[in-house]
Amino acid sequence: MREVKFWQIKPEIRILGVDDGPFEPRSKGEVPLVGVVFRGGRWLDGVLKTRIKQDGTDVTKRLIDMVNRSRHRGQLRVLMVDGVTFAGFNVLDAKEVFRKTGLPIIVISRELPDMMNIREAIKHLPRWRDRWRIIKRLGKIYPVRTKSRGVPIYMQLVGIKRADAESVVKLSSTRSLVPEPLRVAHLIATAIVRGESYGKA
């Protein structure tokens, strides 16, 4: 897959940040998946929502449909997701999302993913080898510091060069270590489930 070329990262680049809502472990049902459209890290332009199955296998299709059906689709330049697993271990195939939407993807993790612990955790799920294969093929994990004195967060990339991804992540991290599109997506998704939001610093 070819990477998307960014000749210039504009301050108001349209980013879609995606996060899921909280859920009770070992329960069944659906969990909200929320996308927020941000211009850089300062202006909220829109909110999208769909639902995915807890520990299911539908997050890839649901996210692709949510993006491609959105009226914001033509303005979006980057998709940013909070990790690669949603609603438990509903694993996002980021490469398939890139193929079907054309949007480069930045997968953000607050901490360095522990791949062996993830592998052990998914073994009790149906089609666990398929889930593990998707996680493994995502590729290299890069640290990035969004604040000069802060601890790093981590990113994995599909369809975008590391330098461009770092620019987008730093540009959009205006309130905390976490890029604003993800912080706000988390707040909204939490409020949908709990009735009140709580955030990630």
pLDDT in tens, 90-114: 999 999 999 999 999 999 999 999 9
User: Structural domain of residue 93, as residue ranges?
Assistant: 14-191
Q: What is the pTM of this model?
A: 0.94
Task: Tally the domains of the chain.
Answer: 1
What strand order describes the sheet that includes 153-158? 43-53, 30-39, 14-20, 78-82, 105-109, 153-158, 142-144
Q: Find the CATH number of the domain harbouring 30.
A: 3.30.2170.10
CA 144 to chain centre: 16
103 touches 81 (CB < 8 A): no
Flag whether 130 is in a domain: yes
Residue 7 maps to a domain: no
Tens of pLDDT along 135-173? 999 989 999 999 877 799 999 999 999 999 999 999 999
Cβ-proximal residues to 190 (8 Å cutoff; 6+ apart), any chain: 21, 22, 196, 197, 198, 199
